[in-house]
Structure 1
Amino acid sequence: MFKRILLTLTVVCCMVVAFTSPSEGHAAAYTYYKVQKGDTLYSIAKKHKTTVSNLKAMNHKRNDIIIVGEKLKVPQGRAATSAVKKSVTAEERKLMAQLVHAETGYSEPFAGKVEVALVILNRVKHPSFPKSIKGVIYQKTKSGYAFVPVRTGKLTKIQPTKQDYAAVDQAVALHSNDKRGSLYFYNPKITKNKWMLSRPVTIRIGNHVFAK
């Protein structure tokens, strides 16, 4: 009898340790959300003030597919606002969001916005481009500037949307694990540049082809 009691106490103690282990971090700082008709990971992330990448990580998802009735873990309280550690300044974040909106507007999907932001970040890390976000966006070329919105002077007049900012935040969160390495993007219906058209394609999203 004594052995059974001792064994029970041991199991209970192990369970307590497991639920309070430091490796769990903010394990208790989440709640559950039941997926409704019309929901997307983006809309759920926006509602709970977090990012799509954070939701996918919390729920061990490798894609954006969700099912009506499915229960997802969503961050709660401070965990929601500090889910993604920003590595860009507020000025850089706004500038990226402005370019993302200028290049994608309201017609391109959210994934396309994220990829445009990744292009900027990938260029910063690439030896052929300037070493800062501002430097990349305002890079001068033979035709004037690397990005058309900068060349036309429209960039600084643009007011980014919440979705544009969310795309930038997701790109920052995903950048360290980005394997595509997109450095360029273009609309194949408009671009006639043979060199650009010859670049290895990394992905096609909406009306844009991304390449490196």
Structure 2
Amino acid sequence: MKKTMIALAAACFLTFGSQGPTTEAAGSYTYYQVKKGDTMSAIAKRYHTTVSSLRALNGLKHDFIYAGERLKVPAAGKRTASAPAKKKSITLSAADRKLLAQLVQAETGSSEPFAGKVEVALVVFNRTKHPEFPKTVRGVIYQKTKCGYAFVPVKTGKLTRIRPTKQDYAAVDKALALFPNDRRGSLYFYNPRVTKDKWMLSRPVTIRIGHHVFTK
């Protein structure tokens, strides 16, 4: 009789003790492909679950995973993970689009590659979301500094006389499309053959394109 009671108690423990992971494993799920550097704990955090629940969902007895492997993850967590906070976008008026294209042409001319033109436009867009700069494209371009203005073409007064090309406009449009997800975050650029400013030269480099070095 005592052995029967012990057996029943053990069965009850197995039934109720594992209810959490089993319940999640029985729910709806989707698949996640493991990337290099992923860990079970990181994936569990991303999908708002636990490592033990992930193991149960995938029938795993360990936490070892490899790049390329497909894991079952909670579908609800997938929806949450795939809907990050909305990133700031910019609505560009026709006048500001032309002004930025003029700046791009003034700073790059015909000697810089298209990618360099795009990055110059991105510098302006990135500044609009940085606390040290104005919040608008026009405000950034006409920002005053101790030396007069942030951009030389504005300082010399020739910016509005410049005629941008189709490529300059295309670079502005490309930068506008890239801006919300731009990871480099370039805030400055200079020509190393011309610039001698120690502060500028000390900035972390984000990318080098043509004759320009971009920094943040």
The bucket for the TM-score relative to the shorter chain is 0.5 to 0.7
Contact 1:109-1:205 within 8 A present in 2 as well: yes
Give the secondary structure class of the aligned counterpart of 2:208: strand
Structure 1 runs not aligned, ≥5 long:
1-84
Residue 128 of structure 1, CA deviation: 0.3
Q: Which residue of 2 aligns with 1:206?
A: 210
Q: Which residue of 1 aligns with 2:160?
A: 156
Task: State the alpha-carbon separation in 2 of the partners of residues 113 and 87 from structure 1.
Answer: 20
Instruction: Quote how far apart the aligned CAs of 1:86 are.
Output: 7.6
Q: C-alpha offsets along residues 64-101 of structure 1, whole Å, 9 cap, x if unaligned?
A: xxxxxxxxxxxxxxxxxxxxx98211011000000000
Mind listing any 5+ residue stretches in structure 2 that lack a counterpart?
1-88
Structure-to-structure mapping, 1:12-51, within 5 angstroms: none
Instruction: Report the structure number with the largest CA radius of gyration.
Output: 2
What does residue 140 of structure 1 align with?
144
CA distance in structure 2 between the aligned counterparts of 1:88 and 1:147, rounded to whole angstroms: 20
- Distance between the aligned counterparts of 1:188 and 1:196, measured in 2? 10
The CA deviation string for residues 146-184 of structure 1, in whole angstroms up to 9 with x for no partner, is 000000001000010000000000000000110000000
Distance 2:199 2:96 in 1: 29
Give % identity: 76
**Aligned positions of 1:62-211 closer than 5 A:** 87-211=91-215
Give the ranges of 4+ consecutive aligned residues of structure 1 lying more than 6 Å apart after TM superposition: none
Letter in 1 for 2:101: A
Q: Quick check: 1:125–1:131 contact (8 Å CA) kept in 2? A: yes
Aligned-pair CA distance for 1:198: 0.1
Determine if contact 1:183/1:211 at 8 Å carries over to the other structure. yes
Indicate the SS of the match to 1:126.
coil
Aligned partners of 1:204, 1:88: CA distance in 2, in Å? 27
Amino acid of the residue matched to residue 154 of structure 1? Answer: K
**1:52 counterpart residue number:** none
Question: Residue 106 of structure 1 aligns to which amino acid in structure 2?
Answer: S
**Count of residues paired in the alignment:** 128
Instruction: Write the letter of the residue equivalent to 1:90.
Output: A
The one-letter code matched in structure 1 to 2:187 is L
Code of the residue aligned with 1:113 in structure 2: it is K
Amino acid in the other structure paired with 2:146 = K
Q: Structure 1 CA distance, aligned partners of 2:130 and 2:204?
A: 16
Letter in 2 for 1:114: V
